[in-house]
Amino acid sequence: SSSSSSSSIQLVRPLDRNGKTVNDRWTTKECELAMTLFRDSVDSVHDAITTQLRRLSGDLLAHQDGLLGCAGLSLCLASFDLHARQALNAQWTLPTLENQPKEQPKEQPKE
């Protein structure tokens, strides 16, 4: 009985992701069909994602200068934050400003 069930399984050489036959392996027709459907689905999703990313990059092109400015500002602020954290962790003495007397406004000369 086991020999009759094993003889009904048809083995084929599988295909790799590039569609080339892998000569040192075997698989069933059902498994290879499922893998082909999977690879086709992956290709479709890849194409859809590529299309959407190209559309998005085109939409963002008009905002390129602002985005670059924001990225630069973000880098500066992150550097300040990390520097301050390191200073606190190392228990550095942080500089302070002395209180300066406020200047009295100068009187306007009378005409």
Largest Cα span, the chain: 121
Each residue's pLDDT tens digit, 83-93: 999 998 999 88
Q: Could you write out the DSSP letters of every residue in the chain? A: -HHHHHHTPPEE--B-TTS-B-TT--EEHHHHHHHHHHHHHHHHHHHHHHHHHHHHHHHHGGGHHHHHHHHHHHHHHHHHHHHHHHHHHTTPPPP-PPPPPPPPPPPPPP-
Question: Residues near 17 by Cβ (< 8 Å), separated by ≥ 6?
Answer: 39
Each residue's pLDDT tens digit, 6-29: 568 889 999 988 889 999 999 999
Q: How far apart are CA 99 and CA 105, in angstroms?
A: 18
Taking 60 as the threshold, does the pLDDT of residue 4 lie above it?
no
Q: What is the pTM for the complete model shown? A: 0.50
